Amino acid sequence: MDWTFTATSLTVGDFVRLENYYNEFLSQNCWIQFDHWIDTFFPTQKGRPSPMPGKFFKGVASIVGLIAVMLAPMFMFAFLNSFGTRDPPNYLRFSISIGGYPTLYEMHATGSTLHNISVEGMNVINQELHSLKDNEMRRSAYAFLSVFSNADVFQVFLEPYSLSNWEISTFTKQRLLAQLHRKEKLSFIFEMKIERESRGAPSTHFTSVSAIEPLQMESLMSVINGSVSKANITLNLPRYFLVPPFSVVTPAVPVNLALNASRINSTWKYEQGC
């Protein structure tokens, strides 16, 4: 390319060889200037071989520096979670409703009902994972939990009674019972809102929709009609969640799969006037 735009009588081969000579001279000149700079600050005795300890130190230091540069990105990502400050949650609101109808259950958690687990609690989770027979699932769950400590894992205690009454009219309740009786397509709507301690931190939300199964419909009808005082209903709601500070709340899939915690059991009780 240079030969094309250069006014020269040389052939292409001669021009390439001349350019190679120039590059070699320039490289040697740079090395000579670098050696002079080294001799200025680290003079050596002329005519005498360099001592072995000095050569060994320079060689080892060069190798260690090269390895450190190559592995620096890996170490940075490995210890990334060790930097920064924690911003734990201090408020949680959880509600369950049937699509299109007033909220069935609502409860808040804060203070003593929302706190991080103890070291013993974290060890219990690890022991449960250790007892798994599926090696791939166990390794996946261990890798997920390895970046968290007990100070990062919070447990929530929700009271069995709703914070507010079920505000539903008689006509609306009868319509709901009719839909349950006809086995129409209805869904549970789970909503969760989490706020953090630091001021200005955005609140995070989680919303999930789960179809009501036929057995769940029968249990709901029995409770609302007053045929039974209470009923156990299995909800399709994960037990463990991942709550990033600036992103959406998602289920902790590796742990939920490993501990079979993708569904929770709930006891439902309907009291007249509530």
Q: Could you read off the pLDDT of 75-98 as tens digits, one per residue?
A: 777 666 566 677 788 899 999 998
**Whether 156 and 239 share a structural domain:** yes
Q: How far apart are CA 117 and CA 155, in angstroms?
A: 6
Instruction: Give residue-wise pLDDT tens across range 92-140.
Output: 999 999 888 888 889 999 888 898 889 998 888 888 888 888 788 888 8
Is residue 7 a part of any domain in this protein? no
For residue 107, is it within any domain?
A: yes
Name which of 242, 229, 239 is nearest 264 in CA terms: 239
Residue 204 CB neighbours (<10 A) = 19
Cα distances from 158 to residues 92, 224, 254, in angstroms, run: 10, 22, 24
245 & 262 share domain: yes
**Same-domain check for residues 77 and 93:** no
Last-in-domain residue among 81, 115, 140: 81
The dihedral of CA 175, 179, 185, 191: what is its sign? positive
Query: Which residues make Cβ contacts (< 8 Å) with residue 86, sequence separation at least 6?
Result: 151, 152
In a domain, residue 62? The reply is yes
Give the Cβ contact number of residue 188 at 10 Å. Answer: 21
Q: Are residues 109 and 126 in the same domain?
A: yes
Last residue of a domain, one of 25, 58, 81: 81
DSSP string, 139-195: HHHHHHHTT--GGG-EEE---SS-SS-----HHHHHHHHHHHHTT---EEEEEEEEE
Q: Is 6 domain-assigned?
A: no
In-domain check, residue 117: yes
Do 133 and 260 lie in a common domain?
Answer: yes
Residues 45 and 139 in one domain: no
Identify the domain boundary among 65, 81, 97.
81
Answer yes or no: do 120 and 233 share one domain.
yes
Question: Interior CA angle at 145 toward 142 and 146, to 5°?
Answer: 80
Same domain? 34 vs 111: no
Q: How far is CA 268 from CA 86, 125, 221, 235, 260, in A?
A: 36, 28, 11, 11, 22
- For residue 94, the model assigns a pLDDT of 92
101, 237: one domain? yes
Query: pLDDT tens across 18-66, in order?
Result: 888 888 888 888 988 888 887 777 676 666 776 777 667 777 888 888 9
143 found inside a domain: yes
Domain assignment present for residue 5? The answer is: no
Cα separation, 130 vs 69, whole angstroms: 36
Q: What is the DSSP letter of 82?
A: G
Domain enclosing residue 185, as ranges? 89-268
How is residue 51 annotated by DSSP? P
Chain segment 220-232, per-residue pLDDT in tens: 888 888 888 888 8
Residue 1 lies in a domain: no
User: How many other CB atoms are found less than 10 A from the CB of residue 96?
Assistant: 19
User: Are residue 243 and residue 218 in the same domain, yes or no?
Assistant: yes
For position 270, what pLDDT does the model report?
62
Whether 66 and 193 share a structural domain: no
User: Token pair for residue 181?
Assistant: 């009786």
Residues 18 and 111 in one domain: no
The number of domains in the chain is 2
